[in-house]
Amino acid sequence: MQIIGASPRPGLGARDKMLHSEAMNDLAGKHILLGLTGGIACYKAAELCRGLIKAGATVQVVMTDAASQFITPVTMQALSNRPVYHSQWDAREPNNMAHINLGREADAILIAPCSADFMAKLLHGRADDLLSLTCLARPIESVPLLIAPAMNREMWAHPATQRNVAQLKADGAQVLDVGSGDQACGEVGDGRMLEPQELLEAVVALFQPKSLQGQRVLVTAGPTYEPIDPVRGITNLSSGKMGFAIARAALEAGAEVTLVAGPVSLGTPRGVRRIDVRSAREMQQAVQAAAEDTSVFIATAAVADWRPANPAEHKIKKDGSAQAPTLSFVENPDILAGVAQGERARSGALYCVGFAAESQDLLANAQAKLARKGVPLIVANLGPATFGQDDNALLLVDAKGVTELPRADKQTLARQLVAEIAHRLKS
């Protein structure tokens, strides 16, 4: 246990940055056609292009004439390291069929930003420029189309736009959400293009196996905080990174994900429903409510085993006696065991996965926890070696034996764990 007031976490060190860099191979071998249409959000396309390439992809940029009013083809050529296409009559193509060749070469087409006008054009199958021609001529079954809308809030809310969004989805396009906030026109509301990192994650998710399609997954993450007085409390060093990575991996795998998070400073993966809690009892209440509509429960959170029996109403001060105050503790509820002993888990409708953060005798302690909790799978790791870090190593312990997941970045491990859980669900 760690007794704290409030202390900042250190930034990324050299080792963490190296691991982050090594993890950025999610799109290795993928070729992305990045289409830009007219809109101020074109400035975000520059960072998006860099992000796609850092993730291992090759990027071919295709721009409309309107897009060229907001960002130059020279900029996008420099970032993509490829000539930018904008004309259907481009003489560089030996067969003069850029709209055919570009679509056949791509693993996916991402239009970011996509204007209201261009969405309407796609809906009606109009093809009067290179980008719209390429989208219409793409092999639908093998080249997915992702659309990142960007427009004024009134344009986004207009019934015509919303009808177009619904029909584009029905036609098989993946229309991404919009952000909300300040707009270039000075207004505030929905319609902003998602941020480059959010778009990058959407592209990465597109290529992940949908092994949990149709499942509802509940994940707990981070520490809990048990107050001693209004300014002090008992917690631990868990950063929540592993749990958040699992939530994202489950979402990528096609699941509907709810994340119950202790006090951490991490961004919520887009598409994940997040419930913030502080104490173990608050986490228990949130889990019990969410578990009623869940098929997989992954208890990643480092829940405090004990809490102060009588938290002080006011700050406990030194009195000059050099005597530390006496604290008495009561045991917190066992969240995992409570869910695992419930009717849905016992009937097989809910698959429970526990985490064991140990400091020694990892395998023995994990096996003991497997028996004690009554769950089909325990994921064990060494807490002091992983709390706050970007990498980890896991032991998967079940009735059949032990599976080792060697040290890797947490997102990679999360995807491997999700694959293991999906395999066990099928078998």
The ranges assigned to domains in the chain are 25-206, 209-309+328-426
Sorted by sequence, the CB contacts under 8 Å of residue 212 that are 6+ apart come out as 250, 253, 254, 255, 296, 418, 421, 422, 425
Sorted by sequence, the CB contacts under 8 Å of residue 305 that are 6+ apart come out as 331, 332
Peptide bond between residue 113 and the one before it cis (omega within 30 degrees of 0) = yes
pLDDT at 93: 84
Catalytic residue among 42, 114, 135, 185: 185
**In b/e form, how buried is each residue of 186-208, taking b as 16+ CB within 10 angstroms?**
eeeebbbbbebebbbbbbbbbeb
Q: Which two tokens stand for residue 39?
A: 């809109």
pLDDT at 24: 62
Q: Are strands 296-299 and 351-358 parallel, antiparallel or unpaired?
A: parallel
Greatest Cα pair distance in the chain: 90
Q: Which residue has the tokens 């074109």?
A: 42
On the question of a common fold for 25-206 and 209-309+328-426, the answer reads yes
pLDDT at 19: 37
Q: Per this entry, what is the length of the chain?
A: 427
Answer yes or no: 185 catalytic.
yes
**Alpha-carbon span 198 to 409, nearest angstrom:** 19
Q: Are strands 226-229 and 256-261 parallel, antiparallel or unpaired?
A: unpaired
Residue 322, Ramachandran bin (φ over 0: left; ψ between -120 and 50: alpha; else beta): left
Number of H helices, E strands in the chain: 16, 20
Start-to-end Cα distance in the chain: 38
Residue 317, Ramachandran bin (φ over 0: left; ψ between -120 and 50: alpha; else beta): beta
CA proximity to 269, closest of 415, 55, 105, 66: 415
Does residue 328 contact residue 310 with C-beta atoms inside 8 Å? yes
CATH architecture of 209-309+328-426: 3-Layer(aba) Sandwich (3.40)
Q: Could you tell me how far CA 348 lies from the centroid of its own chain? A: 28
Question: Tens digit of pLDDT per residue, the chain (427 long)?
Answer: 444 443 333 334 433 443 344 446 899 999 999 999 999 999 999 999 999 999 999 999 999 999 999 999 999 999 999 999 999 888 888 888 889 999 999 999 999 999 999 999 999 999 999 999 999 999 999 999 999 999 999 999 999 999 999 999 999 999 999 998 888 888 888 999 999 999 999 999 999 999 999 999 999 999 999 999 999 999 999 999 999 999 999 999 999 999 999 999 999 999 999 999 999 999 999 999 999 999 999 999 999 999 999 999 999 998 888 888 889 999 999 999 999 999 999 999 999 999 998 888 888 989 998 989 899 999 998 877 788 889 989 999 999 999 999 999 999 999 999 999 999 999 8
Query: What's this model's pTM, rounded to 2 decimal places?
Result: 0.87
**Alpha-carbon span 143 to 81, nearest angstrom:** 22
Any alpha helices (H) in 265-323, and if so which ranges? Answer: 280-291
Q: Which two tokens stand for residue 88?
A: 């259907």
Residue 61, Ramachandran bin (φ over 0: left; ψ between -120 and 50: alpha; else beta): beta
Tally Cβ neighbours within 10 Å of residue 399.
8
CATH class, 25-206 region: alpha beta
